[in-house]
Structure 1
């Protein structure tokens, strides 16, 4: 990010960092998110290495979007990233790109507010239930809508402000029958706003209006 890139201080800036497991189509997802943010007036930087998190200039951004599944993050990269979010930069993302990015980085998971642990049945039909319909992120979204994807079972932080949930029926793991699991949440990490949605296994899921609207609004909420 050069000085010339930063001349227009009225324009919000976002960084998307993609990579990791290819099954989540991180590059395609990055293109969708980039287009979405550009439509909202952001200047968007796209990188495909976690080294981008070590750049001190990320502290000046409005928003960071990780799309980086099942990978490693170096200590200095994580320290710089968490420092930026604590300082007020927004963090937002979806599915495994944010919720299963760095399994051995507990401070990252503390920041996100959750970590993926299972998706019983793999790609299945299920429902998403909006629990805070009056929240601006969820306004106008049907209180219950059908979805076909991986139904994420996660370890979640009880301090999250949960906006939508899903209920497991036990067909693929009988002992979790009736378990209500957060799907969409927002939270604070220091001065930073953090948004997460577990929907979005592959990029084509952005064609689902409810999913795309929730992510768009969530990223805008997170951005400072």
Structure 2
């Protein structure tokens, strides 16, 4: 049986406990054994190297150097990493090791909660199969990105809330490798109710399963 760890906490505005409950239900339904932790010290546990998947939900906050290095080593060795929004890409701002592993870092969301469009960039990818471009209401994340990431969906900034970024195309869903590990991320999901969007939920759930290391 594949084994997953969800580590949640940090800024409460992103509803980490509620999001962790959604992930836990999905993963159980998809055949994972799931455990949860609410402290970043879980990342330093040697046992994480035996997992199939780690899901971080820990906006902002701080990660200790040994925790970040052990997490990175586990992913480099083949453990999958997947998550959403600031719980993964606005976490541990002072850890460049962590940011290198994620592939993108949040820097702004002009206009805060707004309506925008998510455009499918790779409809042929199994994660995006059958999904067409769709409207979304959330924070439209402006990211600093790793150019090596494989971008599956994007959004285009209108310039209404920051005129100098008009027509900038920004990744919303991406995947990449970190060593032998698969990393998946979407910037959607400011709060737990956004998981009710069928497109968002389908993408995220497929991404979890794509990232997870197969049982040996």
Corresponding residue for residue 27 of structure 1? 17
Matching of residue 140 in structure 1 with residue 130 in structure 2: yes
Report the count of equivalent residues: 213
CA distance in 1, matches of 2:88, 2:24: 16
Runs (5+) with no aligned partner, structure 2: none
Distance, in Å, in 2 between the alignment partners of 1:146 and 1:79 is 38
| Aligned mate of 2:142, from 117, 142, 153 | 153
Take 1:198 and 1:104, find their aligned partners in 2: how far apart are those partners? 19
Question: What is the match of residue 124 of structure 1?
Answer: 114
CA distance in 2 between counterparts of 1:179 and 1:75 reads: 34
Q: Of 5, 18, 24, which residue of structure 2 is paired with 1:15?
A: 5
Counterpart of 2:188 (choices 186, 199, 220) is 199
Alignment pair present for 1:64 and 2:54:
yes
**2:115 corresponds to 1:92:** no
For the residue of structure 2 that corresponds to 1:115, the secondary structure is: strand
TM-score, normalization by structure 1? 0.95
Which string of whole-angstrom CA distances, capped at 9 and with x for unpartnered residues, describes residues 92-144 of structure 1?
000000000110001100000000000000000000000100100000111x1
Structure 2: distance between partners of 1:102 and 1:77? 11
Q: 1:4 is matched with which residue? A: none
Q: Distance in 2 between matches of 1:128 and 1:209?
A: 13
Is structure 2 residue 179 aligned with structure 1 residue 190?
yes
Root-mean-square deviation over aligned CA pairs: 0.4
CA distance in 1, matches of 2:195, 2:83: 13
Residue of structure 2 in register with 1:222 after alignment:
211
Residue aligning to 1:177: 166
SS across alignment from 1:73? coil
Q: Tell me, in whole angstroms, the C-alpha distance in 1 between the residues paired with 2:96 and 2:69.
A: 12
Cα shift at 1:216:
0.2
* Offset of residue 45 of structure 1: 0.6
Shift of 1:27: 0.4
2:96 matched residue in structure 1: 106
CA separation in 2, counterparts of 1:212 and 1:97? 16
- Using the size of structure 2 for normalisation, the TM-score is 0.98
In structure 1, how many angstroms separate the alpha carbons of the residues matched to 2:60 and 2:79? 23
